[in-house]
């Protein structure tokens, strides 16, 4: 049975991806840092609904020591999906150094930690897929979300460079760049702000976590020659 690790899997896009891969017959390993109650609820749902094994491992992926400990309890991975992420909304000049590092540690450094530990087994197997969940703001940049944009831009560059590094070992590395998706991360938006954003999107609506999950499945199972790509899913927005 193939294995997949999904970070930030307690809700939203991460949970939807976990369900999609469980439906596809994978042993899903799911992790999150804080909402462990939802994580274990998802584990139970996957196990009973899809009749496939699911292992929940609470872990703060922004902490390398914690990630090392988690990998001691993981088998070799066929697929790594880096989905964990946090946002920060406000002027850069008002942002604390602590908040800057928190965004970078979660959105970018964590992807280095998990990839570093997953890659050796993939190289030995001459097989593997790494998928990073980025953002349209990693391509375009967003006012008042400078740190978030910088972290996702860094993740895009990491994706492209790592794809070149691992291509000789038959390991594909790609990223998805979602636009406005109906998740808890965007729940802070007022009705007015949401309406204004939807007016900018040709599809005239936010995307759903399931749509991102379906694309994640397709990219992971795409021909091996597709690697190093940043694939937008944004309703034609940007």
What whole-number distance in Å separates Cα of residue 116 and Cα of residue 140? 27
Residue identified by tokens 């636009």 is 179
Burial of 55 (0-12, 13-18, 19+ CB in 10 A): middle
Judge whether 148 counts as a catalytic residue.
yes
Considering only CA atoms, which of 85, 76, 20, 4 is closest in space to residue 216? 20
Report the alpha-carbon angle 26-29-35, nearest 5: 135
Among candidates 7, 163, 16, 164, which has minimal Cα distance to 77? 7
Among candidate residues 26, 50, 113, 148, the one labeled active-site is: 148
Helices 209-220, 12-23: axis angle to 10 degrees equals 50
Within 10 A of 89 (CB to CB), how many other CB atoms are there?
12
Active site amino acids:
148
């Amino acid at each position: 049975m193939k294995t997949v690790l999904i970070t930030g899997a307690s809700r939203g896009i991460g949970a939807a991806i976990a369900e999609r891969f469980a439906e596809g017959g994978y042993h899903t390993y799911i992790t999150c840092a804080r909402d462990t109650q939802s994580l274990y609820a998802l584990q139970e749902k996957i196990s009973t609904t899809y009749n496939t094994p699911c292992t929940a491992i609470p872990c703060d992926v922004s902490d390398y020591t914690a990630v090392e400990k988690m990998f001691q309890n993981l088998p070799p991975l066929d697929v790594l999906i880096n989905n964990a992420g946090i946002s920060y909304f406000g002027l850069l000049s008002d942002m604390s150094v602590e908040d800057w590092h928190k965004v970078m540690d979660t959105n970018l450094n964590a992807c280095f930690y998990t990839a570093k530990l997953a890659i050796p087994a993939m190289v030995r197997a001459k097989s593997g897929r790494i998928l990073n969940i980025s953002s349209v703001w990693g391509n375009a940049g967003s006012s008042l979300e400078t740190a978030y944009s910088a972290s996702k831009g860094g993740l895009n560059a990491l994706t492209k460079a790592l794809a070149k590094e691992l291509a000789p070992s038959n390991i594909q590395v790609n990223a998805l760049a979602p636009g406005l998706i109906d998740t808890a991360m965007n729940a802070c938006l007022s009705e007015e702000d949401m309406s204004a954003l939807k007016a900018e999107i040709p599809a005239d609506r936010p995307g759903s976590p399931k749509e991102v999950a379906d694309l994640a499945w397709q990219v992971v199972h795409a021909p091996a020659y597709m690697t190093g790509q940043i694939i937008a899913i944004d309703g034609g927005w940007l």
